[in-house]
Structure 1
Amino acid sequence: MAKMYKVGLYYKILRVYTNYIFKKWFSSVEINGLGYVPDKGSVIFAPNHQNALMDAMALLVSSPSPVVFLARADLFKRKVINFLLRSIKIMPAYRMRDGIQNLKKNDASFDSAVEVLLHDHFFCLMPEGGQDVYRRLRPLVKGMFRIAFAAQEKLPEGESVLIVPTGIDYGNYDRSGHHFVVSFGKPIRVSNYFESFKENAPVAQNMLRDDLAARMSDLMLDIRSQKYYDAFYVAAHLGCVDLLNETDRDCYDFNETNLLAMRQLIVKDLQKLEETEPDKLVQFAADCAEWKRRHENVEYAARMKMYGCRLDSDVIRSTLYLIVTLPLFLCSLILNGIPYAIVKLMSLKTKNTGFEASVAFGLSAVLFPLFYIGYALAFVPMLDGWLLKFCFVLLLPLSFFFMQRFRYRFRYVKERLKNVFVKDELADKIRQFVRNCRG
């Protein structure tokens, strides 16, 4: 098998295709801090890990160069999956739960990772060691630091392995049509810790781990409260728009990156309140729990509150758009309904596992093109003229994107109409509590 750092034509084509459809999965994509990522070098990306293979895709889309990954070994059990993962530069990493007898197999993957870094290619390892559905940074494991110091030991004097702290934020873990933000932070030079490593390896690894954890926390929504996690999460989403509106717009544009920054501020305020005056959070948490119970999609429902309860021109325009384009939607549903139903059914089997979006995205990337090829083979020979044949083939993928946009617009109108002439006093109460915390 070719070296992991070698990039072939197959990989280049696949990367262009997956990058394109990955960005279409989201309503908006924002990538920050690319100035911190060098064009080449011994670079290790260290992102928070909350959404299975979607996190790896997030790095592939955001990085200026190809990235080699380590991923949990149990994903590689099936031969077909093993081949596909390795073909897109993903290697297995074994954990204690995979059996002590398998841990020795990590040596080959770790050696390959060091080789990647020594050839000035990018590498990514999820430093938390596994994923979690909660938006908080978990303790970092030592695998990344073992690889970083092993590579640093072999680099020429004056060169350094760079660990780039990375924060990933999704508007929704499982559903398409929400925002996606990646933020790169200032790299950590492993060479700064290397002398300490030679004197006392565990101490140096712990110092590097603490430095990285602090930088990662600043780039993500890190809700550390165990008792009030849900309350803080609801409040952060309900209050972020108000807080951004109250800031200096010369410094903050209205975008997802800055809304994330506002959610971070709200969480920090609430966590400070939990430490100093926890009694104030009892009723507040009850209010947040009740609001969450009423809304299945917390993130989206909270965003719709920014429009208030008015029936404005945008709702009317969007409703008219849905009515006028309904026949087109039904046509696109005929073309895409079967693969869409298969994807939906298969992804529902992974509900609440953290893999729902990964399964849906992966199946969509394969199934829809296969169905389009089938349609083309079946119907193109029946059409007269190359222009008509070309238009039919072109309309197949366009019908999918139209169907998705129609669904997103329908969701928007549905949520807006639910709020028309209905004042959400509970949401207002939570938002006021957040404002009071700000002082």
Structure 2
Amino acid sequence: MLFYTVMKPLVQVALRVFFRQLEVRNPKRLQVPGPLLIVGNHPNTLMDPLVVAVNRRDPIAFLAKSTFFQNPILKAIMESGNSIPIYRRQDVETGAEKLTPEQLAAQNEAIFGRCYDYFDRRGTIMIFPEGTSVQERRLRPLKTGAARIALGAEARRNFQMGLQILPLGINYFDPQRFRSDAFLNPGPTIRVADYADLYRQDPEAAADALTEEIRQRLEVRLVITRDAAEDELSQQVERTFGSHLNPDDDPTTLYDNFQLSRTVQQGILYFEQHAPARLAEVREQLSAYLSELRQLGLTDEALESGRQRPGTRLSRAAKATLRLVLGFPVYLYGAINNYLPYKLPSMVARRATKDAEFVAPIMLVTGMLTFSLAYVLQTMLVHHFTQDWRWTTLYALSLAPTGFYALSYWNNLETRVHRLRALRLFRREPARTAGLLRQRGHILQLLGEARAAYLAARTAQRA
């Protein structure tokens, strides 16, 4: 329980820094009292349990694959985080800890017993029934282990325990990038006792039926694409023209972004069946447009800003330039003091793993260490030279705010550079710019028509 007594507050701060927004939809659902089994998708390895644990008041025990417990250091970390090993056939047949089928069954039977005892104490357990973590917008086939644990625990108490299952969709909008967004989408709970009659007749059928209900509950709380090509198209549409497709988007919530992502994906499926030629045209036009923007070092937002009236353009450019000039000293101060601890986590993560789903948790843990050590050492160094605690305290308090300012300044500077490139293109190559704008307008027209056709078809289906 070391995680909950010592580490949880630190991880809460680290996650608030790592993610630009970490939003929980219907947060009361995540506080349902135990006994409770939380089941979620698993796109981001160790990051997934962390984002759930810091958002639930009661402690959670996590079922994790046994390979995490083979390294002594990692084992100590996992056990301090209240994790329970689960033994999978593929791990014990190929890993360092080889077990016979009988030993494997006995190990997992003992683990099931630990879970039953935990539920008896009205505890909360989380399991990822996909059985593996892959950083894709998918929901892989679910194993029946979660359902079998829940049904076994209730059966032991004649289905009078009151155990509930909470389906939890975990959505990352750009999981490998610092200051991206994460959206937790818990659903209504499932009463395990509702499966009592079926379980008494056929335990296997009950486990299959409960697993299927979990799958259905998870699917509606996730953005799911079928393959890389579909995922690429949907993300191109969302990131480039999302504000045009969803003009009423509320920037204070991620739910609108989630709804847009699901609508785009469902629209792709609809046009693939009913108007494949229209879908192919959108894909072709969008790919060509984005390719040309990349060649020119532009963004769609910068190109659109270049269409404003010269007077408006000049006024905005003057204000932006003034802010950049006045803010440069603060940016430089923040960048110098934060550059090394900021860069090291990504460098370590890229060298430590080639698996995309491990990058974010490694960056998080490394960042906690680098920033903590850097801030302490830099503060000690300042005190050594000044011998004045007032200046030392002011310096220490300035580190984090100026670091965030430096990151924001850099992002604004990149935006300004893209806009200057767009203005230069407008002046030097008006014919090429006009062609790009026509291409952009044509894509927006295609997307607008597709959106109207899709919404009309969906309305007709509901009627």
Q: Same fold (TM over 0.5)?
A: yes
Runs of 5+ in structure 1 lacking a partner?
1-6
Is 1:19 the counterpart of 2:12? The answer is yes
Counterpart in 1 of 2:281? 283
- Take 1:50 and 1:13, find their aligned partners in 2: how far apart are those partners? 26
Q: CA deviation at 1:308?
A: 8.0
Report the more deviating stretch, 127-136 or 381-390.
Answer: 381-390
- Take 2:300 and 2:175, find their aligned partners in 1: how far apart are those partners? 16
Alignment of 1:173-322 (within 5 A): 173-224=175-226, 228-245=230-247, 255-290=253-288, 310=308, 311=313, 317-322=319-324
Given the alignment, which residue of 388, 393, 405 partners 2:391?
Answer: 388
Aligned residue pair count: 425
Given the alignment, which residue of 340, 343, 362 partners 1:341?
Answer: 343
Alignment of 1:163-178 (within 5 A): 163-178=165-180
Is 1:65 the counterpart of 2:39? The answer is no
Is 1:153 the counterpart of 2:146? The answer is no
* 1:313-362 Cα distance to aligned partner (Å, 9 max, x none): 77765554333233333333333333333222112223553211111111
Counterpart in 1 of 2:326? 324
Change (3 A) 1:41 1:241: same
- Take 1:159 and 1:303, find their aligned partners in 2: how far apart are those partners? 55
Report the more deviating stretch, 189-198 or 321-330.
Answer: 321-330
Is 1:363 the counterpart of 2:376? The answer is no
Counterpart in 1 of 2:430? none
Runs of 5+ in structure 2 lacking a partner?
427-432, 454-463
Counterpart in 1 of 2:407? 404
- Take 1:80 and 1:399, find their aligned partners in 2: how far apart are those partners? 35
SS of 2:259's equivalent? helix
Q: CA deviation at 1:226?
A: 6.6
- Take 1:233 and 1:21, find their aligned partners in 2: how far apart are those partners? 27
Q: CA deviation at 1:80?
A: 1.7
- Take 2:380 and 2:199, find their aligned partners in 1: how far apart are those partners? 62
Report the more deviating stretch, 161-170 or 63-72.
Answer: 63-72
SS of 1:129's equivalent? coil
- Take 2:270 and 2:27, find their aligned partners in 1: how far apart are those partners? 32
Report the more deviating stretch, 197-206 or 315-324.
Answer: 315-324
Counterpart in 2 of 1:96? 89
- Take 2:365 and 2:165, find their aligned partners in 1: how far apart are those partners? 29
Query: In structure 2, what residue type is equivalent to 1:94?
Result: Y
| TM-score, normalisation: structure 1 | 0.84
Query: In structure 2, what residue type is equivalent to 1:286?
Result: E
Change (3 A) 1:57 1:406: farther
Alignment of 1:22-33 (within 5 A): 22-33=15-26
Larger radius of gyration between Structure 1 and Structure 2: 2
Query: In structure 2, what residue type is equivalent to 1:373?
Result: V
Contact 1:225–1:271 at 8 Å: present in 2 too? no
Counterpart in 1 of 2:450? 437
Change (3 A) 1:237 1:392: closer
Backbone CA RMSD of aligned residues: 3.2
* 1:206-263 Cα distance to aligned partner (Å, 9 max, x none): 2112211111111111123576332233234445433322x6x8xx787321121122
- Take 1:200 and 1:316, find their aligned partners in 2: how far apart are those partners? 73
Contact 2:43–2:136 at 8 Å: present in 1 too? yes
Contact 2:62–2:127 at 8 Å: present in 1 too? yes
- Take 2:176 and 2:304, find their aligned partners in 1: how far apart are those partners? 23
- Take 2:325 and 2:354, find their aligned partners in 1: how far apart are those partners? 32
Change (3 A) 1:84 1:403: farther
- Take 2:210 and 2:300, find their aligned partners in 1: how far apart are those partners? 38
* 1:150-209 Cα distance to aligned partner (Å, 9 max, x none): 222234654422111112222211111222211111111111113212211222122112
- Take 1:304 and 1:169, find their aligned partners in 2: how far apart are those partners? 28
Counterpart in 1 of 2:456? none
Query: In structure 2, what residue type is equivalent to 1:120?
Result: R
* 1:262-304 Cα distance to aligned partner (Å, 9 max, x none): 22112112212223343443333333444565678xxx96788
Counterpart in 2 of 1:4? none
What is the aligned-residue identity percentage? 20
Change (3 A) 1:332 1:228: closer
Contact 1:244–1:262 at 8 Å: present in 2 too? yes
SS of 1:99's equivalent? helix
Q: CA deviation at 1:63?
A: 2.0
- Take 2:408 and 2:8, find their aligned partners in 1: how far apart are those partners? 24
Q: CA deviation at 1:98?
A: 1.2
- Take 2:418 and 2:108, find their aligned partners in 1: how far apart are those partners? 49
- Take 2:315 and 2:68, find their aligned partners in 1: how far apart are those partners? 49
Change (3 A) 1:332 1:227: closer
Counterpart in 1 of 2:36? 43
Contact 1:315–1:416 at 8 Å: present in 2 too? no
SS of 2:357's equivalent? coil
Contact 2:4–2:59 at 8 Å: present in 1 too? no
Change (3 A) 1:323 1:317: same
Q: CA deviation at 1:55?
A: 1.5
Change (3 A) 1:167 1:228: same
Change (3 A) 1:160 1:391: same
Q: CA deviation at 1:365?
A: 1.0
* 1:404-431 Cα distance to aligned partner (Å, 9 max, x none): 3334444544555566666555554444
- Take 2:339 and 2:204, find their aligned partners in 1: how far apart are those partners? 55
* 1:366-391 Cα distance to aligned partner (Å, 9 max, x none): 22112222233444244334322322
- Take 1:295 and 1:113, find their aligned partners in 2: how far apart are those partners? 54
Change (3 A) 1:363 1:198: same
Contact 2:154–2:160 at 8 Å: present in 1 too? no
